[in-house]
Amino acid sequence: MKTLIVRGGRPLRGCVSVPGDKSISHRAALLGAVAEGVTRITGFLRGEDCLATLEALRALGVAVDDNGHEVVIHGIDEEGLSTPRGPLCVGNSGTLLRLLAGLVAGYPVEATLDGDASIRRRPMDRIAIPLRSMGARVSGAGDRCLPPVTVRGGDLRPISYTSPVASAQVKSCVLFAGLRCHGVTSVTEPRPSRDHTERMLEGFGAVVERNGLTVSVLGPGKLQGRAVRVPGDISSAAFYLVAGMVVSGSSITVQAVGVNPTRTGFLDILAEMGAPIRQGPIAQEDAESVADLQSEESALRGVRIGGDLVPRAIDELPVAALAACFADGPTRIQDAVELRVKESDRIASTARLLASFGARVEVEDDGLVVYPGRLGPAMVDSGGDHRIAMTGVIAGLAVSGESRIRDAACIATSFPGFVEGLCSLGADVEEADD
């Protein structure tokens, strides 16, 4: 188990980059696998979650090469996926489990998807229900279909599914399965969720229609392998941006970050808090917008975060709650019950983390209320949640004294190089083994 020793009170300055977007990396590899020809991916996130995607594809009979510069996926096209010899390990990735279940469901194979202890606590009934309606056989533990989840696919029928939650993972699972149906498969959400899947499906040649909150795909979809460039992950950039705001005397520029409008809710939150992020010129890469983002020490105000903003910032809410500790009034995060079923119960784990540093936090069913106050150094445990661990590191940098973040190896799940990037900006962070 790894502990990070964080010595705060030093300003952070300079330019830094972040690894490729995790959501886009997953999708590029999965769609490349079922396309015709070769897909070449640059900027692929080599974090544990996305490396698990490559291993799962290999187990399904897909040829995958990785030379460290680019990932090359040799699509199976009409050959189809193969039944794996054993369970497919998704590690800590709920995204991979849900998207891969949709992909596998379209082929006459049987696969069991399993992961770590955290994954085994995450209910999968939200994908089991629509996949069963399409004709796939999906089984898991209990009424909530807890992993390991077994999917027996093939011979699916299209459906028009109304999702009870705004979830890009649920939407993507159904659309992936719809690629193998004869007819139109559609998903309607109560609020907009991130749209990387729709953009990438179109890029690979699928026929996609968007109508308000409904997205449809026409099957069977004939996909064509292509080159994909993955932009920097805004969910990773969020930690550096908050560091620039709350660490005294800091100014940080994060280069080449994806600023897809369905992912920039966090930037909108910061603007409402009185700390608009300076954004460089926007470039277009593979239907995704990319820009440099700069933050600096800022005077913040408390705000209310809820409604349509939440799905656009769901992964950044823990570090947004940290920023709220430095505001001049309380911040209420609501409509965020989805945080309860992430790698940890992120409503509870965020509250525990901030309270350890001395913050006053009230937990509610669908969110929390954060009150401003003076923070001090702390010793905290991430509980194996990478975003909680990184939020703890940023909190430690913003206070004077030495903090310790236990169980920090999980950061590699989504952000290899996180500590090195901070140190390049002037942070004093070192690793120690417990």
| Residues annotated catalytic, as ranges | 315
Cβ atoms of 24 and 196 within 8 Å: the answer is yes
Residues in the chain: 434
Query: 386-397 vs 346-356: helix axis angle to the nearest 10?
Result: 20
Query: 317-324 vs 265-272: helix axis angle to the nearest 10?
Result: 10
Order the strands of the 63-66 sheet from edge to edge.
63-66, 70-74, 38-42, 227-229
Q: Which of 166, 171, 237, 238 is nearest to 200 (CA)?
A: 171
